Chain A
Amino acid sequence: MRTEKNLKMHELIGLYAKVVDSTNPNQIGIEGRIVDETYHMLIFETQRGEKMIMKKGARFKFKLNDKEVELSGDAINYRPHERIKKLLRRKGK
């Protein structure tokens, strides 16, 4: 189950999200469904087509069964399959 605590290690694809802060002012306020993820980017599906948004320096608000979880983009700036290992290691220190 995706919860507030483990969301940063969990699957982001398929969730609705909003860009709260970004280094590019044009991208602030974009919201939509996340359809793909790469090392540096999250890809949003909005009404105006697909938007690629840099994770670095951004903040995202995810909708998780009527709850809202805010995450910093720097915390999830890894490859999608390496996020679990990297983040668990940091927690143990």
Chain B
Amino acid sequence: MDWRRKKARKIAWERIQILFQLALEEGRKGNLERARRYVEHMRNLSQKYKVRLPKEIKMYFCKKCNSILIPGKTSQVRLKKKKIVIKCLNCGNYKRYPYKR
């Protein structure tokens, strides 16, 4: 990888972390539309510069409507059939993650 792409990825990763923190803050305050906008910026960066989002970030936003998922506020978390099932309360989309016994 040439230095330019390396540097671009480094900056993109830093920006993703900043935006994720901001989105969480705004989501907790209740400005959900603004939080959704920050998640959109974050995903644009990751797609443009091919930065893989870690699982800890991926679990906290909805892939369908880009809203931030805060358990108990904008998402519902249940354990069903050996899977963690997360429901987005904005659009009703489900995420499922299996867990080992």
Contacts and interface: CB of A to CB of B under 8 A. Distances in A.
Instruction: State whether these chains interact.
Output: yes
A84 B49 CA distance: 9
Interface in B1-26: 4, 7-8, 11-12, 14-15, 18-19, 22
Given A13-B38, A36-B34, A85 B15 contact: no
Interface of A: 1-2, 6, 9-11, 13-14, 35-37, 80-82, 84-85, 88-89, 92
B15 to A, nearest CB: 4
Given A84-B8, A84-B12, A88-B7, A11 B19 contact: yes
B63 interface: no
A11 B48 contact: no
Interface residues of B, number: 18
B37 A11 contact: no
Contacts of B15: 10-11
A13 B7 contact: no
Contacts of A6: 11
B45 interface: yes
